[in-house]
Amino acid sequence: MCKIHKEKKLKKIAKYWEQNENQLVTCNLCFHHCKIKPGQRGLCNVRGNEQGKLYNMEFGETISISVDPIEKKPLFHFFPDSVITSIGPNGCNLDCPFCQNSEISQQKSPTYFLSPEQAGELSAQNNSIGLAYTYTEPLIWFEYLLEAGEKVRERGGYNVLVSNGTINPEPLKELLPVIDAANIDLKSFSSKTYKEILKGDLDSVLNTITTLVENNIHVEITTLIVTGLNDSESEIEDIINFLAELNPEIPYHLSRYFPHYKYQQRPTDTNLILSYYELAKQKLPHTFIGNFFHSDKENSYCPDCKHLWIKRSGFHSEVVGIENGLCLKCKREVGFPI
């Protein structure tokens, strides 16, 4: 078992930045293009300027190390009923008022130092299939993802990204070779909502999703249905149409919101989510409901013959209708790793 150090800081020179006058630097990892003065950090609170150079100030600093069911990410069609080691940094490059993880994304939490080599070791222990970068926003950990990802691959494991998808095209392209699967949080289909409320950029997220799919990386999408923000039928329909045009086999998770952080509207109406589930199923057969118990809406079914493929209860999955990658009933290829 590798030895994990608490609060062992190791900064790493960052990628994708440029130096300006008076030791000012511009970070080009995401659309924010933060201009950072010496001694300060960017919006994400991870990338910092020291003496006119940009560093990843949280390299290897993880807020948690745990072994989770793959379904918790959530990934429903990537080695179902397996477990994966999960880590993640402090910070985020968005500022969502309804953030469900604000204690770690918007505040500083204690960390443990995990070198890329140690990450590779942990990814192969406890029956884990690899390493998931999750909890907050792993893309701001960019340099660490590259190095740890290679070590995980050397151990025969898979790298899973759980992300808001906010990254510029060039660094995303560099990251593609080490990513095997991703769940991207598509929070809205409104550019105005992203810009004014989330401090984000819709086009960046859509480009990330499209790029991952076009490069044959396993992609699942989650939308937290937030009361009074993104809960109109027209907006959900726009998301459904975008995903269906990209690939109708993409698993789509509709998740229930609860009041948290700066946003105190009532929890999402369950009947509303159920109605959007039925709407999505018309074009996205692998649609699921999260954050409230409704057992049959968590299961996976064959899009053709409707035979039950995977039965789920909470984070436990049981493959019941698939054999050798084929539907037991109609012999349709399932199209995802079991």
Tens of pLDDT along 66-115? Answer: 999 999 999 999 999 999 999 999 999 999 988 877 565 455 778 999 99
The closest alpha carbon to 81, from 318, 325, 330, belongs to 318
pLDDT for the residue numbered 8: 59
* Cα–Cα dist 255/224, whole Å: 5
Which residue positions in the chain have pLDDT lower than 50?
A: 105
CATH 1.10.10.10 assigned to domain 62-298? The reply is no
Give yes or no for a cis peptide into 74 (omega within 30° of 0): yes
What are the structure tokens assigned to 96, written together? Answer: 């969502």
12 pairs with which residues across the strands? 56
Contact at 8 Å (CB) between 300 and 76? yes
Long-range contacts of 79-83 (CB under 8 A, 24+ apart): 79/129, 79/158, 79/337, 79/338, 80/300, 80/310, 80/317, 80/319, 80/338, 81/316, 81/317, 81/318, 81/319, 82/127, 82/129, 83/126, 83/127, 83/128, 83/129
Angle, vertex CA 173, rays to CA 190 and CA 48, nearest 5 = 80
pLDDT for the residue numbered 105: 47
Helix (H) or strand (E) holding 192: helix 191-196
pLDDT for the residue numbered 100: 74
CB neighbour list of residue 113: distance below 8 Å, 6 or more residues apart: 4, 5, 6, 7, 8, 9, 10, 60, 61, 62
pLDDT for the residue numbered 7: 54
Q: Where are the domains of the chain?
A: 5-56, 62-298, 306-338
* Cα–Cα dist 273/255, whole Å: 8
* R_g of the chain computed on alpha carbons: 20
With a threshold of 0.85, does the pTM exceed it?
yes
